Structure 1
Amino acid sequence: MDQEKYLQDIKEIREMMDRSGRFISLSGISGVVAGIIALVSAFIAYHYIYLDSDFYSFKVVYLSPETIQDIFLLALATLVLSIGSVIILTHQTTKKKGQKLLNKHAKLVLVNLAIPLITGGILCVIFIINGYIGVIAPLTLVFYGLALVNASKFTLDDIRSLGIAQIILGLIGLYFIGYGLILWAAGFGILHIIYGIRMRLKYGS
């Protein structure tokens, strides 16, 4: 009996040390909000950009300056709104827990997120400039998934499974080019909403 209690104490100490070395104040609600933003963006992209262009195969598509501008503006708006909501809602969560938003663990998460995201972003811009628009949505899923897996070492383990799911959807999208936007909506939209609800129920954040 004493040995079992001793082993349980060791397990609890290890869990506490592991949690103290990670950024665990992520907001589940921010995942839901980001998912809704992604679904709205996918709807706009489909009706106002995709329907008028041949983005459904791995071939060069010659885009007008107006279309390129629309793509960049929509992507920028989606990015700003999503990141903004995550920062605001995560800040509220950290404030409730008496923690700083940008502590050393949060900085490690950001750095490990940034490397794959910036790399993927540059690659996507190169593909857009050269007219390979059909691969953009799947590529963003793949690199976002890689970023999540890379950053999961410094935050909640749930992030890793979300990242792996994004990578799988992205690879499927690269094979079935015509379904890239649908899979993008599933990854950035539906998966984020499911993840956010799960985080809310599991951690109360």
Structure 2
Amino acid sequence: MESKNYHEDLSHIRSMMERSSRFISLSGLSGVFAGLAAILGAIYVYFAFQREGIDYFAGQRNVFKAGLVNELIITGIVILAVALLSGYIFTANKSRRKGLKIWDATTKRLLITFAVPLISGGIFCLGLLYHHLFVFIAPATLIFYGLALVSAERYTLTDVKYLGYCQIALGLFSLFFIGWGLVTWTIGFGVLHVVYGLIMHKKYK
């Protein structure tokens, strides 16, 4: 009996340490909705290309007009906003159900660790945009986002790093297949997010 209580106490202490050092309220459903938003955004971009007479899969070098570039930027901002909003809503609901605070010292450390490579990547992509190197933007977003996930893993669910590794690998792969940037971006931010979100929802619900 004493041995059983001893192991229960150790398990409880381990659980408390995990709660204090890691942000464990991250919702899998937020990943699903972020992925769906990315897929819908990619479909919209594809039809925007069609509207402008750009055959995306023709394997030719395409010239993007300033209006189309601005439209793509706005689309990206909308996708990001939807992903962030859904992430906050689902994560806040999960925190409330578990009786955990969504904003504490661990959350701050998580956001800072996540933000450094993400902001650096954003500035890098602005540089690519400024120099009209549009074909490298999709690979760059995948790589820097993956680095952000791997960095943030130390303050949240360990499984996050595997999504990060997949994003980095996909981004590096897409550097050598430039014409397929929209496809690789859709797989990375869309399909992988949906799959990851469903797995995490089932594992940690």
For normalisation by structure 1, the TM-score amounts to 0.87
Runs (5+) with no aligned partner, structure 1: none
CA distance in 2: counterparts of 1:79 and 1:29, whole angstroms: 16
Is 1:23 aligned to residue 14 of structure 2?
Answer: no
Is 1:169 aligned to residue 196 of structure 2?
Answer: no
Helix, strand or coil at the partner of 1:39: helix
Runs (5+) with no aligned partner, structure 2: none
Within-5 A mapping of 1:29-44: 29-44=29-44
Give the superposition deviation at 1:20.
2.7
CA distance in 1: counterparts of 2:75 and 2:141, whole angstroms: 14
1:113 maps to 114
Helix, strand or coil at the partner of 1:157: coil
CA distance in 2: counterparts of 1:63 and 1:186, whole angstroms: 23
Contact 2:49 2:56 in 1 (8 A): no
Give the superposition deviation at 1:179.
1.5
Q: 1:129 to 1:62 in 2, by over 3 A?
A: farther
Contact 2:49 2:55 in 1 (8 A): no
1:24 is matched by which residue type in structure 2?
I
CA distance in 2: counterparts of 1:144 and 1:14, whole angstroms: 30
For normalisation by structure 2, the TM-score amounts to 0.87
Helix, strand or coil at the partner of 2:132: coil
Aligned Cα RMSD in Å? 2.6
**Stretches of 4+ aligned residues off by more than 6 angstroms:** 2-9
Q: Percent same amino acid among aligned pairs? A: 41
Contact 1:34 1:86 in 2 (8 A): yes
1:35 is matched by which residue type in structure 2?
G
Q: Deviations over 1:41-84 (max 9, x none)?
A: 1111122137745989xxx9754321221121111111111101
Q: Deviations over 1:139-196 (max 9, x none)?
A: 1000000000010000000001110110000000111111221111111111111111
2:27 is matched by which residue type in structure 1?
S
Contact 1:55 1:134 in 2 (8 A): no
Matched positions, count: 201
